[in-house]
Amino acid sequence: MNMAPADTLVYDTAQIAVWQSDPAFAYSRELMAPEINVLEWIGKWFGRLLDKIFGNTFVEEYSEVVLICIAVLILMLVIWFVYKKRPELFMRSRKNASPYTVGEDTIYGVDFAKEITGVLARKDYREAVRLLYLQTLKRLSDGKRIDWQLYKTPTQYIYEVRLPAFRQMTHHFLQVRYGNFEATEALFRIMQNLQKEVEKGETA
């Protein structure tokens, strides 16, 4: 009669319990995805970069200062980007300004000369300023000096024309259009003169 060999493996259950309670033997935690702190990771990466360039002393003394400077720079870039896309958000409104509602700022299908004459007769200088600026964009577009698009902001055209007169004209337009600044006959005449400079292409 054949008998199965006896199991000679003996283990100490008490010792195994000790090992199981020891964090050093908790190998299952290596299978868990670590929690990633993005800011901490960026800080460590930047610290290693500074370490390679300047050495340990510089990293220990100035790494936090440099990180703060970088954060401020990023914030400034975000603000600059928003300003380029939505300049009206940075315009300061006057408390006593009258409400002003305008239609779509298109440059096509509008008889600007006729419309400007009409609003001037009513002394509606806000609308006169808007129409004069749009008329300027229309002429610049017809002269292939700008690529007019309805979605573009006035600030974007400044980089296409690159004339101080047009920059100043755009500034006046934004103040009236978005900042609720008072539009007067004097301001309208100033913009008329700026329009002439823009059309001549003067740089002064």
| Residue pLDDT, tens place only, 88-139 | 555 454 444 434 344 457 888 889 999 999 999 999 999 999 999 999 999 9
Q: What is the pLDDT of residues 163-187, one digit of tens each?
A: 999 999 999 999 998 888 899 999 9
Return the structure tokens found at 148.
């007019």
pTM reported for the whole predicted model: 0.53
Q: Give CA–CA dist 143/171, Å, rounded.
A: 22
- Domain residue spans in the chain? 13-85, 112-200
Contact 179, 93 (CB under 8 A): yes
Q: Around 9, how many Cα atoms within 13 Å sit in the side-chain half-sphere?
A: 1
